[in-house]
């Protein structure tokens, strides 16, 4: 039986809600983490609107899951990019709802940083000026932006307008935010 016309809008809104907002989902469907030989980068995967999940990763030599106990369930997990290869590695993380059995999926990619970009409102800093936040974003060779750069050490170099270079430790002049 077709729905009365007046019911169409609320009905569609309800369907939209069920399939998008109200359904359980992960904070990200895909995460791109930088390959870092020294300190693995971590990223927290969370389930919105969900119950308790059992997590598994298809390739533990690429990404390690922390924060889940054996036979336990959780609605978030820390993904550690432990890949030992600078070439692109992928793994699939599955989260299964321990009640309903529903499965959520996240693709994890670990790759080397190809280029960096500094995001700031100014390229020139004048002495005695208010502090300015400099943010770095990193991209892989295909132009995809990395999800986080946590744990990556950066050396900042400041150049004066006369062309003289001076090195600045990460803490001394420019602060990481």
Ligand X SMILES: *[C@@H]1O[C@H](CO)[C@@H](O)[C@H](O)[C@H]1NC(C)=O
Closer residue to ligand X in complex, CB, 91/97: 91
Q: From the list 11, 13, 27, 39, which residue makes contact with ligand X (rule: CB under 6 A)? A: 39
Whether the Cβ atoms of residue 45 and residue 32 lie closer than 8 Å to each other: no
CA distance 13 to 149: 38
Indicate whether 150 belongs to the interface with ligand X (CB under 6 A). yes
- Per-residue HEC secondary structure of 15-29 comes to HHHHHHHCCCEECCC
By CB under 6 A, the count of residues binding ligand X is 8
Indicate whether 133 belongs to the interface with ligand X (CB under 6 A). no
CB under 6 A: which stretch of 36-44, 68-76, 118-126, 132-140 binds ligand X?
36-44
CA distance 146 to 88: 13
Minimum CB distance to ligand X, residue 68 (Å):
13
Whether the Cβ atoms of residue 66 and residue 78 lie closer than 8 Å to each other: yes
Closer residue to ligand X in complex, CB, 33/95: 33
Of 51-90, binders to ligand X (CB under 6 A) are 66, 80
Measured at CB, which residue is nearest to ligand X? 151
Whether the Cβ atoms of residue 96 and residue 54 lie closer than 8 Å to each other: yes
Q: From the list 68, 112, 136, 151, which residue makes contact with ligand X (rule: CB under 6 A)? A: 151
Per-residue interface string for the shown chain with ligand X, residues 94-113, x marking contact by CB under 6 A: --------------------
Indicate whether 147 belongs to the interface with ligand X (CB under 6 A). no
Q: From the list 32, 33, 41, 74, which residue makes contact with ligand X (rule: CB under 6 A)? A: 41
Summarize as ranges the residues that interact with ligand X (CB under 6 A).
39-42, 66, 80, 150-151
């Amino acid at each position: 039986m077709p729905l009365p016309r007046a019911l169409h809008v609320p009905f569609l809104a309800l369907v939209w809600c069920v399939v998008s907002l109200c359904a359980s989902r992960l904070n990200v469907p895909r995460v791109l983490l930088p390959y870092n030989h020294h300190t693995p980068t971590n990223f927290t995967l969370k389930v919105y609107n969900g119950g308790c999940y059992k997590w598994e990763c298809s390739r533990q030599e690429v990404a390690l899951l922390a924060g889940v106990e054996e036979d336990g369930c959780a609605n978030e997990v820390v993904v550690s990019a432990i890949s030992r290869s600078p070439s692109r590695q992928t793994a699939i993380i599955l989260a299964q709802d321990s009640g309903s059995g529903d499965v959520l999926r996240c693709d994890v990619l670990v790759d080397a940083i190809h280029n960096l970009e500094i995001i700031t409102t100014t390229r020139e800093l004048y002495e005695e000026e208010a502090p300015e936040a400099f943010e770095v974003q990193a991209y892989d060779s295909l132009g995809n932006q990395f999800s986080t750069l946590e744990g990556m050490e950066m050396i900042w170099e400041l150049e004066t307008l006369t062309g003289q270079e001076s090195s600045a430790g990460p803490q001394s002049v420019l602060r990481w935010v």
